[in-house]
Amino acid sequence: MALSDPRGIYGVHSVTPYNRKTGEFYGILKVLNGSSLNVEGSLVELMGGSSKFPWAVETGELKVEMSLKISQFEDFLFELFLGKAPTQTSAEAAGNVSTLTSVVTGVLNASTGIASVSAKSGQSASLKFAKYVIKYVSATTVDVYAASDVDAARGTDWAYQTDLLKITASPLTVTASTATEIPGTGVEFTGGSGVIALVAGGVATFETRPINSGVSTVRIGGLANQTMPEFGAIVIAQKRSNGEMTELDCFRCLGSGMPIGFEKNAWANAEIKVKAFYDSAKDGVFDLRYVKATS
Amino acid sequence: MSSDAEKKHLKKYTESVLETIRGVEKKKDEPRSQLIAKRDFVIHQNDVHIEIKEGDDVSHVPERYWQNLKTENVI
């Protein structure tokens, strides 16, 4: 019998994390730049006396670490590596305008200030992916500022008027129980029910989302959400042209932290360190399955 | 009530009504009192854009903005 072809592992096809308790998959990672499993052992030497060479050598600790290099940012990654699963909102056919929130008292007031913000009827196509600030100008007028112009050209445009990111050409008048359009935003605010008397220094903020096919939001860093869950991970190498396929099933993994890159003209690329360790129920750290398909 | 008393009462009533009508007509014919702006101010809301200069007569400004003008010490 002749020698077999040398066994090779070529590329990476996917990484599939799974819930260790339920066995369910979190999802699949396919936009990968690598997911190498490094099993690193140490050798412990017995040294002493006049010998410059070890008297004996034994194996030391083994460390199993997976370096997960990904260029996709699925919701489950935030749960596994940053401690909180995002909240998902289904498609918003008319976009969304958040509730007006006071930052400095003086603008938001159901009676003497701006009572609320909402999408202007028939202008949902102009709602942008934006964060706005409404700021006191005088007792009955305000200016509006926008954090970024990334989506400013959606529907009816707005443009910055000043270096302080003001988008209103003239201060907008607030009148009681009346809607005032914020030009170019698809949003209008409604004055309070009483005599309008805004307070100097008052600031309020709100966000808008364009018409969309789904939304994910997550707040990372909450004290109650700083524990990362253990998970299992199945790593699959690329299917070779000769039929070879290799699978690695790490039973018990833990990772902490995930970079979220915003680089100039480049896809965000995260390298996440994941430790694999002993699973007493399975009495092992990982399984490796190899097959050479013949058809 | 005697006929004379009735006539007297009717006349008095008629005069009272006519007086009221004359009052209303007179008020209608009077020129609108001027509202003079004490300072510059701009009203900008939806399709409305009114630039007011100090000394301008603002009586033509829609009444819904008068409260704003008072709050802003324009009038």
CATH, residue A41: 2.30.110
Domain that holds residue B17: 1-30
Q: How far is A102 from chain B (nearest CA, A)?
A: 22
Check pLDDT > 90 for residue B15: no
pLDDT greater at residue B30 or residue A196: A196
Q: Report how far residue A185's alpha carbon sits from residue A208's, in angstroms, rounded to the nearest whole number.
A: 9
Q: Tell me how many residue pairs between chain A and chain B have CB atoms under 8 A apart.
A: 40
What pLDDT, on a 0 to 100 scale, did the predictor assign at position B31? 54
Chain B: residue whose CA lies nearest to A188:
B46
In a shared domain, residues A144 and A68: no
In a shared domain, residues A97 and A192: yes
Check pLDDT > 70 for residue B29: no
ipTM above 0.90, yes or no: no
Mean residue pLDDT of chain A comes to 95
pLDDT in tens, A229-250: 999 999 999 999 999 999 999 9
Q: Report how far residue A183's alpha carbon sits from residue A41's, in angstroms, rounded to the nearest whole number.
A: 65
Across A115-119, A201-205, B7-11, B29-33, least confident range: B29-33
Q: Give backbone dihedrals phi and psi of A225, rounded to 5 degrees, phi first.
A: -130, 50
Across A125-153, average pLDDT: 98
Q: How far is B30 from chain A (nearest CA, A)?
A: 30
pLDDT band at B3 (very low <50, low <70, confident <90, very high): confident
| Contact criterion met (CB below 8 Å) for A59 and A43 | yes
In a shared domain, residues B66 and B45: yes
| Most B-contacting residue of A120, A142, A175, A177 (CB-CB within 10 A), to test interface | A175
In a shared domain, residues A141 and A65: no
Domain that holds residue A207: 92-217
Q: How many structural domains compose chain A?
A: 2
**Domain-located, residue B36:** no
pLDDT band at B26 (very low <50, low <70, confident <90, very high): low
Whether B71 and chain A come into contact, CB under 8 Å, resolves to: yes
Sign of CA dihedral B28, B31, B35, B40: positive
**Domain-located, residue B8:** yes
Model confidence, pTM:
0.83
**Domain-located, residue A3:** no
pLDDT greater at residue A201 or residue B22: A201
In a shared domain, residues A19 and A110: no
The secondary structure of chain B as a DSSP string is --HHHHHHHHHHHHHHHHHHHHHHHHHHHSPPPP-B-SS-EEEEETTEEEEE-TT-B-TTS-GGGHHHHHHTT--
Check pLDDT > 70 for residue A279: yes
Tokens 């009052």: give the residue: B23
Check pLDDT > 90 for residue B28: no
What pLDDT, on a 0 to 100 scale, did the predictor assign at position B16? 83
Across A187-207, average pLDDT: 97
Tell me which residues of chain B, numbers 4 to 63, contact chain A at a CB-CB cutoff of 8 Å: 42-46, 48-49
**Domain-located, residue A226:** yes
**Domain-located, residue A4:** no
In a shared domain, residues B2 and B26: yes
What pLDDT, on a 0 to 100 scale, did the predictor assign at position A146? 98
Check pLDDT > 70 for residue A84: yes
The secondary structure of A213-263 as a DSSP string is EEEEE-----GGG--PPPEEEEEEPPPPTTSEEEEEEEEEEEE--------
Q: How far is B61 from chain A (nearest CA, A)?
A: 14
Residues of B in contact with A140 (CB under 8 A): 68, 71-72
Q: How many structural domains compose chain B?
A: 2
CA A194 to chain centre: 43
In a shared domain, residues A190 and A209: yes
pLDDT greater at residue B31 or residue A102: A102
